Amino acid sequence: MPCTVIVGGFFGDEGKGKIASYLAIKDKLDLAVRTGSVNAGHTVAWKNRKYKLRIIPSAFIHEKCRLLIGAGANLNVSIFLKEVKETNSEKRVGIDFQTSIIEEKHIKEDRGDEHLSKKIGTTGQGVGPAIAERVRRKAKLARDIEELKPYLTDVALEVNQALNLGKKVLIEGTQGTYLSLYHGTYPYVTGRDTTASAICSEVGIGPKKVDDVLIVFKAYVTRVGAGPLPNELSPEEADKRGWTEIATVTGRRRRVAPFNFQLAKRAIMINSATQIALTKLDIVYPECKGARSYNELSPKAKKFIEEIESKLKVPVTLIGTGEEVHDIIDLRMEKLEK
């Protein structure tokens, strides 16, 4: 803080929504900015309810936090308006006037393209075709949509002014490093760069404005759709371990593999990560479920965390131990003071 960027370290689905929502409450964020598009879902478990968000920042649970959508994002208007109502955030949401719009024709094109839908395994949300149209300089922007006019703002200006005043800003990245168009497992990637540098670019802040890059790793690796997944487990083995997951947006079963140190090390390099958030430790080590202090963790879980820090050379500052927002062990005071 005051400016932290959250980025996914693997193939998405790392639990970035949980981390963002926790930081919103714990650190009393002033602004949170969402990047990316509706092909990435963030799940927030708050007050006995699950929110599955695709565009509104996960930080919405802190009611005094200003919620923004960056210029580099791609917006589905109906999904946005639905989530605004669901999160009761009408009076504090802003969309950059240059955010581009996903239209019905983009969704049809996405789902009708055999290469995208069958070979690559896209989510079929129209994101790739919408980005392509933006590159051709033919896209509709938020400023062109009547329903969005009450929400229009200059996000880059808002964020930079807030940072100049010392306010706390969180930039919420989507998907994961290895789905990056440039640094991922091409062609089995998304239609944009998903790394920390690109996340900042979508919002409109320069690298000197960033204080921390918080990279999120799950205690195991999952992937939706086609593409390489080193050491992939069979569905039967995933079920046996209790690692089976269903994707938020597509409803598809996620492919599963053990934690990959080689991928994690490269992701840290590409993103200049300064901290690690480790999620779903309780899935790999069920005895740790609901733990909120490091001393509550089992010896095996502690050894795993120590191995991560030893091999990756970055401190593990946040550890997720359950679905609820507050099911987190927060080690920032301890680790960052050293």
Tell me the CATH number at 163: 3.40.440.10
Residues 6+ apart with CB under 8 A from 249: 38, 39, 40, 41, 54, 123, 125
Number of domains in the chain: 1
Q: Any catalytic annotation for residue 106?
A: no
Residue with tokens 């927030």: 44
Structural contact between residues 36 and 194, judged by C-beta atoms closer than 8 angstroms: yes
The domain in which residue 261 lies consists of 3-336
The answer to whether 169 and 31 have CB atoms below 8 angstroms apart is yes
Residue 247: what pLDDT? 73
Q: What is the token pair recorded at 63?
A: 């009611």
Q: Considering 13, 193, 212, 282, which one is annotated as catalytic?
A: 13
In this prediction, residue 213 carries a pLDDT of 98
Query: Packing angle between helix 196-203 and helix 155-164, nearest 10 degrees?
Result: 100
Q: What is the pLDDT of residue 336?
A: 84
Spell out a b/e string for 41-66, using b for 16 or more CB atoms within 10 Å of the CB, else e. Answer: bbbbbbeeeebebbbbbbbbbbeebb
Q: Can you give the pLDDT at residue 250? A: 67
Instruction: Count other C-beta atoms under 10 Å from residue 245's C-beta.
Output: 18
Summarize pLDDT for 229-282 with one digit per residue, the tens.
999 999 999 999 999 888 766 677 899 999 999 999 999 999 999 999 999 999
- pLDDT at residue 112 in the model: 78
What is the pLDDT, as a whole number, of residue 116?
A: 65
pTM: 0.93
The pLDDT value recorded for residue 119 is 61
Angle between helices 261-271 and 299-312 (to 10 degrees): 50
User: Among residues 42, 62, 106, 183, which one is catalytic?
Assistant: 42
* Pairing of β 49-53 and β 66-69: unpaired
Confidence at residue 225, expressed as pLDDT on a 0 to 100 scale: 83
Question: What is the reported pLDDT for 20?
Answer: 94
Which residues in the chain come in under a pLDDT of 70? 1, 113-123, 248-250, 337-338
Active site residue 42: yes
Closest CA to 195 of 181, 205, 211: 181
